[in-house]
Amino acid sequence: MPLLYETRESVAIITLNRPEAMNSIDPETRAELHAAWQRAAHDEAVRCVVLTGAGEKAFCTGSDLKKTMPPKESAAQLTFGQAQSNHLLAGMEMDKPILCAVNGYAMGGGMELALACDVRIASENAQFALSEVRIGSIPGAGGTQHLPRLIGRGDAMLMLLTGDRIDAQEALRIGLVSKVTPPAQLLETALAIAARIAQNAPLSVRAVKRLVREGAALPLPQALAMESYVFSMLRDTEDRLEGRRAFQEKRAPVYRGR
């Protein structure tokens, strides 16, 4: 199977499973990835998602050029004529947090998948690149927009215009990843973080993610107004009251997303 899906308690694990092809994305994998995002988004038991790749050599090297033919449809048909988007990142807009455990190469579309996640953890052997300019193209799955917003314009332009690779330590220095671990500890580190997120009040977690995502495109006064509005929405939820009771009673809270 080109993609594996499993759950551990409240965490869904999505694994790109084509290590023989550097976990590159062929049409079947793309379709299964889209379905996996929908499955995780609609499963109320899932509170956090971890995306990774099989093996230690590569997380994902982008599209499998041997199996991905140019589309037969026109640009207009692809944009307006389909009921569901076939964009690589389709389905990742969910409010549930997505962590990426980058094991090895994250190149092209593979790096763009990682950029679309909320938190990135890298193994010591990870390498990152958006080298499309070297082959007369551009990063077309969000790379030119996500990267500058994440690491700043200067470092992003250096990567985008040269197409150079960077290693895990450089990725950590510029803020592309949050942690670097030995390869053997990568998935467990990501799952431990995901478990901590999943223990928190789910409505609050999803609200924080949406506020960060949507607030980034707003002037600060409007973003703060949106934050205030969302705070008032959450103020009387059952989970907020449960959090206070649990603190007073010195016990772990039991959140239900209500």
Q: Check if 132 is active-site.
A: yes
CB within 8 A of 198, min separation 6: which ones?
Answer: 9, 10, 11, 47, 48
Of the candidates 49, 44, 60, the one whose C-alpha atom is nearest the C-alpha of residue 2 is 60
Query: Virtual CA dihedral for 173, 175, 181, 186, nearest 10 degrees?
Result: -160
Q: Check if 56 is active-site.
A: no
| Residues 9, 22 contacting (CB under 8 angstroms) | no
| Chain centroid to CA 246 | 31
Of the candidates 10, 1, 99, the one whose C-alpha atom is nearest the C-alpha of residue 59 is 99
DSSP string, 75-139: HHHHHHS-SS---TTTTTT-SS-EEEEE-SEEETHHHHHHHTSSEEEEETT-EEE--GGGGT---
Place of tokens 């092809």: 21
CA distance 85 to 68: 17
Of the candidates 9, 28, 112, 124, the residue annotated as catalytic is 112
What is the three-class DSSP state of 4?
Answer: strand
Q: How far apart are the first and last CA of the chain?
A: 36
Residue 29: its H or E element? helix 27-42
Of the candidates 132, 170, 214, 249, the residue annotated as catalytic is 132
Q: Catalytic positions, please?
A: 112, 132
